[in-house]
Amino acid sequence: MVPTDDGEHIPAIFRDFVEVFNRTKAEILPLHRSTDHAFDLEPMYNLPYVRIYNLSEFELRMLKSFIEEHLANRFIQRSSLPAAASILLQKRRMED
């Protein structure tokens, strides 16, 4: 294991990329650039309704925590779009 700048440890195979794993730097968005993208929808286009699959109470808490954290960091923003995005939840493997 290799230590990072903020006291975490990453597998040695990633030692050449240690700066990528800095949590403080990861919480800051890069400046806007000409390559930023927008999704302009066609006027009057009706998006299909797709119901989200059932989540456990734990999964709902984790999803809510993720959304609140990323809204606070301004990585995502609220939307009035009547559509949803798929999510994938994966338990973290805890190493000794």
pLDDT in tens, 9-59: 889 999 898 888 887 887 888 888 888 887 777 887 777 777 777 888 998
Q: What is the pTM of this model?
A: 0.56
**Residue 95: what pLDDT?**
62
Residue 78's closest CA among 86, 87, 68? Answer: 68
CA–CA separation, 1 vs 9, rounded Å?
6
**Residue 92: what pLDDT?**
75
Mean pLDDT of all residues in 75-85: 77
Q: Give the long-range contacts of residues 42-48, CB within 8 A, separation 24 or more.
A: 47/81, 47/82, 47/83
Given a contact cutoff of 8 angstroms between Cβ atoms, the answer to whether 38 and 51 are in contact is: no
